[in-house]
Amino acid sequence: MKPLHNKSIIITGGAGGIGVATAQMFLVEGGKDVLLVDLNQKALDEVKKKLDNPGVHTFVADVSKANDVKAYTDKAVELFGKLDIVFLNAGYEGVVKPLADYPEDIFDKVLDINVKGVWLGLKYAFPHMQKSGGSIIITSSVAGLTGTAQMMAYSTSKHAVIGTMRVAALEGAPYQIRVNSVHPGPVDNRMMRSLEEGFAPGAGGEVKKGFEGQIPLGRYATNEDIASTVIFLASDKSKYITGATHVVDGGFNI
């Protein structure tokens, strides 16, 4: 029997690179039902077509809005009859600016999505998962473990997620709800293209080379590299792991 046989999962940021890779791997490992949550219906439709599986469902929601989060959680329970796994993966990088120049509205948006969105996901999932336990995985970043110049909002939000995760792990433990965070280094996807361009407009390729030179394994992560860790944490292979930070960075943060 495959490790995720008959399991259900919610994936926020479900139309993004890591979200899609996780959904694909979840299905390969025996998962039954997936609810992909994102802001863009067109993007979700494209992913659903790509995955081509009757167990894949989509939901348009803003993870920073309580009504939206409650709605996607309720929809998952309606569809699946239970909640086994929640992958709180939606995130926003903001902009690259010195702290004194960082726009207040962007700072607020980053924290609303990256921190409030995680808290709301936990808030509405917990009452359902308290019945039979399960696994919640939160996407943080290596930027949540060390400071990153000119990324005040993003780094702040990803540090905050660790505290959120640890509180949830403590409160979830009596109900066998495990909560962990995943901390990717640079990943070869849209978000890193945005950050590379932010650090050096018009010369993002050079920034990428510079980052790769700092990674002992010599390359960016693939979306699948991150998804593999998420799937491990979702499965019973990690049934004694909770409240932990899991770094997936090729040695970038050594």
The pLDDT tens digits of the residues spanning 116-171 come to: 999 999 999 999 999 999 999 999 999 999 999 999 999 999 999 999 999 999 99
The answer to whether residue 1 scores a pLDDT higher than 90 is no
Average pLDDT over residues 106-110: 98
Q: What is the pLDDT of residue 10?
A: 98
Q: Which residues are catalytic?
A: 154
Continuous H helices in the chain: 17-28, 41-51, 66-80, 104-111, 117-129, 152-172, 190-199, 204-213, 223-234
The structural domains of the chain, with segments of one domain joined by +, span 8-185+221-248
The pLDDT tens digits of the residues spanning 22-60 come to: 999 999 999 999 999 999 999 999 999 999 999 999 999
Q: What is the spatial distance between Cα 224 and Cα 25, in angstroms, rounded to a whole number?
A: 8
Q: What is the CATH number of domain 8-185+221-248?
A: 3.40.50.720
**Ramachandran sector of residue 14 (left: φ over 0; alpha: ψ -120 to 50; beta: rest):** alpha
The pLDDT tens digits of the residues spanning 89-104 come to: 999 999 999 999 999 9
The answer to whether residue 173 scores a pLDDT higher than 90 is yes
Q: What is the pTM of this model?
A: 0.96
Q: What is the pLDDT of residue 170?
A: 98
The answer to whether residue 231 scores a pLDDT higher than 90 is yes
The pLDDT tens digits of the residues spanning 192-216 come to: 999 999 999 999 999 999 999 999 9
Q: Report the mean per-residue pLDDT for the chain.
A: 97
Quickly state the pLDDT bin for 254 (edges 50, 70, 90): confident
